[in-house]
């Protein structure tokens, strides 16, 4: 139960203020990558004005499975290390809980990847050289994009006909297995009361269409909820054709136990997918000056997005 409480306390990006750093000039453009329920899905494109390497990095703006435009300035500052190396960065804002649950958020980020790939020539990037990154909930969503199958959609939109795969993944302290969270057979879904108390119940409030009432209704059958929890867990999608994965995780993290990263790395090792787990001794869920460790992610993308 202690692990469940720790999980629910704070799946948010717990990143301290980052000092400004020198950066080469870059342009900033807001892009609509999709629409749903009458609302626009947006992302921010950050493009170096010189020395572009024609590679794209998707940075998932997400913490606690919430995505906010108000966080963009912080993400821009963090993106400068990528821009300085010639990467074009896309800050993807997805639909958030409490209105949207995790499966909806995964669909949003996949749409963003497809949109970027479809318009790659317009953005000056190679459509086959795209990486994805994120922290905590953003790391989870990044891994879902990187590891899950690229299923075709029924959409007539040509954007939805292109691949949502990426060529490299680099994340920080991500949840990876909602059925074995911190230990075997322990799931956050086992305590609905605690989910509600901590304000994250909506992220796990999976819904289905009710044809009788013409409404979306919450799925309450425990077995079905656990099946969906498995479907949104990156650990169950590992296959030999997955992109290289780099993870940074503090060994004192009580919010997302480092066990989450270790079990994913073990599965990647089993199928021989290139990977690396950087363990930060004594650190929890975010720490001061973590930009130092994040430089390793930049190097990872430079290596695998050649």
How many CB atoms lie under 10 A from the CB of residue 196? 13
Q: Return the exposure string of 17-38: e unless at least 16 CB atoms fall within 10 Å of the residue's CB, then b.
A: ebeeeebeebeeeebebbeeee
Are 52 and 84 in contact by the 8 Å Cβ rule? The answer is no
What average pLDDT does the chain have?
Answer: 91
Spatial distance between the Cα atoms of 302 and 306, rounded to a whole number of angstroms: 6
Q: What is the pLDDT of residue 49?
A: 92
Query: What percentage of the chain reaches a pLDDT higher than 70?
Result: 92
Q: What is the pLDDT of residue 3?
A: 53
Query: How would residue 1 be classed by pLDDT, with cut points 50, 70 and 90?
Result: low
pLDDT at 249 over 80: yes
Q: Return the exposure string of 109-141: e unless at least 16 CB atoms fall within 10 Å of the residue's CB, then b.
A: bbbbbbbbbbbbeebebebebbbbbbbbbbbbb
pLDDT at 18 over 70: no
Can you state the angle between helices 137-147 and 102-118, rounded to 10 degrees?
Answer: 60
The torsion region of residue 136 among left (phi > 0), alpha (psi -120 to 50) and beta comes to left
168-220 tens-digit pLDDT: 999 999 999 999 999 999 998 988 877 776 667 899 999 999 998 999 999 99
Query: How would residue 7 be classed by pLDDT, with cut points 50, 70 and 90?
Result: low
DSSP 8-state symbol, 166: -
How many CB atoms lie under 10 A from the CB of residue 281? 7
Sign of CA dihedral 251, 256, 258, 259: positive
Q: What is the pTM of this model?
A: 0.91
116-148 tens-digit pLDDT: 999 999 999 999 999 999 999 999 999 999 999
Query: Which pair of structure tokens corresponds to residue 92?
Result: 């993807």
Question: Which residue in this structure is represented by tokens 């119940």?
Answer: 201
Instruction: Identify the burial level of 66 via C-beta atoms within 10 angstroms of its C-beta, where 0-12 means exposed, 13-18 middle and 19 or more buried.
Output: buried
Query: How would residue 13 be classed by pLDDT, with cut points 50, 70 and 90?
Result: very low
Q: What is the pLDDT of residue 200?
A: 78
Query: Which pair of structure tokens corresponds to residue 8?
Result: 């629910």
Q: What is the pLDDT of residue 78?
A: 92
pLDDT at 159 over 50: yes
């Amino acid at each position: 139960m202690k692990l469940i409480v720790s999980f629910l306390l704070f799946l948010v990006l717990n990143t301290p203020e980052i000092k400004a750093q020198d950066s080469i000039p870059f342009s900033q453009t807001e892009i609509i990558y999709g629409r749903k329920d009458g609302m626009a899905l947006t992302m921010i494109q950050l493009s170096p004005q010189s020395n572009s390497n024609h590679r794209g990095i998707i940075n998932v703006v997400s913490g606690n499975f919430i995505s906010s435009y108000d966080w963009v300035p912080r993400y821009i500052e963090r993106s400068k290390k990528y821009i300085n190396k010639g990467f074009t960065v896309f800050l993807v804002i997805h639909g958030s809980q409490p209105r949207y649950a995790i499966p909806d958020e995964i669909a949003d980020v996949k749409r963003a990847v497809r949109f970027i790939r479809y318009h790659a020539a317009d953005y000056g990037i190679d459509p086959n050289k795209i990486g994805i990154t994120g922290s905590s909930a953003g790391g989870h969503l990044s891994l879902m994009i990187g590891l899950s199958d690229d299923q075709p959609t029924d959409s007539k939109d040509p954007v939805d006909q292109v691949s949502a795969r990426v060529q490299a993944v680099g994340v920080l302290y991500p949840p990876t297995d909602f059925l074995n969270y911190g230990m075997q057979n322990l799931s956050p879904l086992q305590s609905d009361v605690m989910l509600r108390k901590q304000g994250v119940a909506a992220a796990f409030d999976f819904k289905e269409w009710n044809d009788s009432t013409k409404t979306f209704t919450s799925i309450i059958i425990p077995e079905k909820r656990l099946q969906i929890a498995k479907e949104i867990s990156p650990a169950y999608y590992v296959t030999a054709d997955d992109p290289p994965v780099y993870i940074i995780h503090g060994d004192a993290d009580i919010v997302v136990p480092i066990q989450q990263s270790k079990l994913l790395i073990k599965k990647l090792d089993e199928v021989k997918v290139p990977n690396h787990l950087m363990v930060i001794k004594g650190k929890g869920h975010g720490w001061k000056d973590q930009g130092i460790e994040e430089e390793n992610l930049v190097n990872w993308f430079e290596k695998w997005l050649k």
